[in-house]
Amino acid sequence: MTTNGAARWVVLLVRLPAGPSRHRVAVWRELRRIGALSLGQGVWAVPDVPVFADGLARAAELAGRADGEVVTLDAAGRTPADSAHLQALFTAARKEDWAEFLADCGKFEDELAKEIRIAKFTLAELEEEEQSLERLRRWHRDLTARDVFGTPEAAEAGERLRQCTVACEDYAERVFAALHETPGQSG
What's the mean per-residue pLDDT of the chain?
Answer: 94
Q: Mean pLDDT across the stretch 115-135? A: 98
For residue 4, the model assigns a pLDDT of: 55
Summarised one tens digit per residue, pLDDT across range 53-96 is: 999 999 999 999 999 999 999 999 999 999 999 999 999 999 99
Helix (H, G, I), strand (E, B) or coil at 121: coil
Strand ranges, E, within the chain: 2-3, 6-15, 37-40, 43-47, 69-76
**In this structure, is the dihedral angle defined by the CA atoms of residues 2, 78, 51 and 153, taken in order, positive or negative?**
positive
**In this model, does residue 100 exceed pLDDT 80?**
yes
Q: Which of 162, 168, 156 is nearest to 109 (CA)?
A: 168
In sequence order, what E strands does 25-169 have?
37-40, 43-47, 69-76
Looking at the whole model, is its pTM more than 0.85?
Answer: yes
Mean pLDDT over residues 5-14, rounded? 91
Residue 2 has pLDDT above 60, yes or no: no
pLDDT digits 0-9 by tens, 22-43: 999 999 999 999 999 999 999 9
Question: What is the b/e burial string over 23-52, where b = at least 16 CB atoms within 10 angstroms of the residue's CB?
Answer: bbebbbebbeebbbbeeeebebbbbbeebb
Name the residue type at position 82: D
